[in-house]
Chains A and B, each alone.
Chain A
Amino acid sequence: MNSKWMVSACLAAGVMLAATTALHSQDGPRTPDGKPDFSGIYTAPSTVNAKGPRGNLIFNADKMAPVKPGAESLLYEPRTGDARHDEPRAVCMPSGFPSGMLYILPIQIVQNSKYIVIIPELQRAARIIPLDGRPHREGIEPTYYGDSVGRWEGDTLVIDTINFKRWILDDYHYTDRTKSRWHSDALHTTEHLRREGNKLQYRITIDDPKIFTRPFSQDFELTLRPDWDKLGLLEYVCEENNRCSGGNCKADPQ
């Protein structure tokens, strides 16, 4: 190997290293321990590759993985007329994850070196995610929001969530009066969060081996709103005056 080739190879490696570093580092505020600071209130996500009514989480079917043979009935549940089944959120049941986080109301992120806390205004269902390398909890019954642990990969926060109760996957039923879309109890999500200026780039990977032939990802973008800090998140008590409690909105007859 001649020296000229060696120099070229070293230069190329240096360029690649610099590019990689740029790719994985971010400008912007950092916490005392040097991690990217995600703290703040964010708008609801804008869909990057999803479609549907603006602001509600409806996965883009074109980007979803193929459904396993026979699993269609696990993914789609016919509308029954019972709101507790058809759209649980309408009767103040938990929205669940991911639909409860990627909703039209803002989320707030609170962060320190041990935890990142993601608080959607909707139902105030805070996700308290440990960052200390602990494994998932064991012996816990499946839940609507699953069990999450987080870790840093460079400047990207990766959140791994398992142990879900079977529940509505997204707001597909906002577009189709005949059925709703569900995930199974085998759902495993991986979220990648990365801050770019005042944007939070958010990717969620859905791995539901009882339904889909392979994992698939969808991308969203959330915008930091420092101007909302003063007001903060508002209370959201769904039971306060839920006029849609039967799944059929009724005005006060007065």
Chain B
Amino acid sequence: MTRYVLILSFLVWGLATSQSVLAHHSEVAEYDPEKPVKVTGTISKVEWQNPHVWFYVDVKDEQGKVTTWGFSTAPPGALLRRGVTKDALKIGAVVNVQGSRARDGSSNASGRSVTFADGRNVLMAGEDAR
């Protein structure tokens, strides 16, 4: 885990304060901004569908146990207008993801920022996120 964090030097907090920018549901009801999540792992699955793109990241802890995290993000249309296509989330890519954890305590979160090993950051929501 620590190794991955060292590899991925770009950690972006772009959306830390904009909780409901991307949701067709109340994020404040679903996700707890007081419980930020930062994980690093491998993309194992992508659901490029409405109303929200979901992607899944396999995260290995120091004992080698793998936990799959599910991240919800913007609708496909909002991502496309930001220049983010389905190809940006490649299965097998190592990513660092930041978000807010689900209130139900499950391994799912609202994904706010995805940083690839080369430092590219996608899924940020700036003005064009709209």
Contacts and interface: CB of A to CB of B under 8 A. Distances in A.
A47 B105 CA distance: 34
A252 B68 CA distance: 10
Nearest to A237: B50
A171 B20 contact: yes
Interface stretch (B3-11, B51-59, B88-96): B51-59
B51 A174 contact: no
A75 B43 CA distance: 44
A241 B49 contact: yes
A69 B80 CA distance: 48
B115 interface: no
Contacts of B54: 241, 243, 251-252
B119 interface: no
A83 B81 CA distance: 29
A55 B130 contact: yes
A249 B72 contact: yes
B25 interface: yes
Contacts of B26: 86-87, 90, 171, 173-174, 177
A121 B26 CA distance: 18
A250 B28 contact: no
Contact-size category for B: 35 or more
Given A244-B25, A248-B104, A236 B77 contact: yes
B30 interface: yes
Interface residues of A, number: 45
Interface in A200-254: 228, 231, 233-238, 240-244, 247-252, 254
Given A174-B26, A231-B80, A249-B72, A236 B51 contact: yes
A104 to B, nearest CB: 5
Contact of B51 (A53, A55, A240): A240
Interface in B6-40: 18-31
B21 A251 contact: no
Interface of B: 18-31, 44-45, 47, 49-52, 54, 56, 68-70, 72, 75-78, 80-81, 102, 104, 106-108, 127, 129-130
Given A237-B50, A247-B25, A252-B56, 5 more contacts: A44-B130, A241-B47, A241-B52, A244-B51, A251-B70
27 contacts: A54-B21, A55-B18, A55-B20, A55-B21, A56-B21, A86-B26, A104-B129, A105-B77, A105-B130, A106-B130, A171-B20, A173-B28, A174-B28, A228-B81, A234-B80, A238-B24, A238-B51, A241-B49, A241-B52, A243-B54, A243-B70, A249-B108, A251-B54, A251-B70, A251-B72, A252-B54, A252-B56
